[in-house]
Amino acid sequence: MKIGFIGLGIMGRPMAKNLLKAGYELTVFDLNTEAVDDVVKAGAKRAAGSAQTAREAEVVITMLPNSPHVQSVMLDDDQVADAMEAGTTLIDMSSINPIASRAIGAALAKKGVEMLDAPVSGGEPKAIDGTLSIMVGGKQEVFDRYRELLGCMGASVVRCGGLGAGNVTKLCNQIVVAINIAAVGEALMLGKKAGVSPEAIYQAIRGGLAGSTVMDAKAPMMMDRNFKPGFKIDLHIKDLNNVLETAKSLDSPTLLTAQVMEMMKVLHADGSGQSDHSALVRFYEKLANEEITRV
């Protein structure tokens, strides 16, 4: 199967490599030529632009930062949709506003192009080892056709409903992740201020009800002062913006999300926007005048 892949960032690059390992034929494009060079060395073909990735491809996969980027690439500036033949499929794996997903899907349908929205969760480590959680929206028959392909990038591939349902589910995921990270930082700071080792607290509670994948991924990063981005604060701000916009349109309360959003905005203003979202702990450190370490 021939695939066009657009967007080779922190997540997209290892995802593309996993498709190559699975034997798929990829043509790739990104504005970052170093990222393209890396994936070409792994066996992909280089495209001169976004639209060229779609020529002769059965599937085009996009992994882009936000709704306007997908809109621009597919329909506006790059017009990838015009290079796609009727009967082909766009799988947008970006995390975008579900309203935008449905609008893009409607425009593609007029051209005879199918679409799945399939955002992912798991960060760079799970993108590298191919164990992402993939949340999919779209027609059942289209999902069934490409489930095996998606399984090359994720350990969990779940259809959540019609087009847009994948991104609704991703927004729900990002609420839980953001609030969980903030809670871990808040808890470790309370322990540190009380004279108890953050490492001891983490080891004591991780096996109980408070334990989570988020805690296991982010608490060690906090204690090691390792904020190399697996998922950037600025990207999480983008996702929470989409959460709050979608929630407002549905009159759905998002009190905790709004609080964490304000925390992330403070960190962005302090220059931590490109840090991993585990750097949320810095918000508590600033208020408490204390630094979280393992001891």
Q: pLDDT (tens digit, 9 = 90+) per residue, 104-118?
A: 999 999 999 999 999
- Going 201 to 207 to 208 to 209, the CA torsion angle's sign is positive
In angstroms, rounded to a whole number, what is the distance separating the alpha carbons of residues 266 and 34?
Answer: 32
| The predicted structure's pLDDT at residue 94 | 97
φ, ψ at 61 (rounded to 5°): -110, 130
| The predicted structure's pLDDT at residue 262 | 98
SS3 187: helix
Domain ranges of the chain: 2-161, 168-288
For 36-72, write each residue's pLDDT tens digit: 999 999 999 999 999 999 998 999 999 999 999 999 9
- pLDDT of 230 over the 90 cut: no
Percent of the chain surpassing pLDDT 90: 98
DSSP state of 229: -
Give me the active site residues, please: 170
* Contact yes or no for 1/19 (Cβ under 8 A): no
Into which CATH architecture does domain 168-288 fall? Orthogonal Bundle (1.10)
The identity of residue 232, as a single letter, is K
For 125-157, write each residue's pLDDT tens digit: 999 999 999 999 999 999 999 999 999 999 999
- pLDDT confidence band for 92 (50 / 70 / 90): very high
* Contact yes or no for 5/28 (Cβ under 8 A): yes
Residue 285: CB partners within 8 Å, gap ≥ 6? 189, 291, 292
For 202-221, write each residue's pLDDT tens digit: 999 999 999 999 999 999 99
CA distance to 10, 55, 62, 154, per residue, from 4 (Å): 18, 8, 8, 18
In angstroms, rounded to a whole number, what is the distance separating the alpha carbons of residues 64 and 53?
Answer: 15
| The predicted structure's pLDDT at residue 283 | 98
Beta bridge partners of 211: none
Cα dihedral 213→214→220→221 (10° resolution): 140
In angstroms, rounded to a whole number, what is the distance separating the alpha carbons of residues 103 and 124?
Answer: 29
The encoded tokens of residue 83 equal: 């290079």
| The predicted structure's pLDDT at residue 260 | 98
Strands 132-137 and 45-46: unpaired
Q: Please tell me the total number of residues recorded for the chain in this structure.
A: 295
| The predicted structure's pLDDT at residue 56 | 86
| The predicted structure's pLDDT at residue 52 | 96
* Contact yes or no for 112/86 (Cβ under 8 A): yes
Percent of the chain surpassing pLDDT 70: 100
Average model confidence (pLDDT) for the chain? 97
For 252-293, write each residue's pLDDT tens digit: 999 999 999 999 999 999 999 999 999 999 999 999 999 999
* Contact yes or no for 49/78 (Cβ under 8 A): yes
Q: Which CATH class is domain 2-161?
A: alpha beta
CA distance to 175, 184, 229, 282, per residue, from 266 (Å): 18, 18, 18, 10
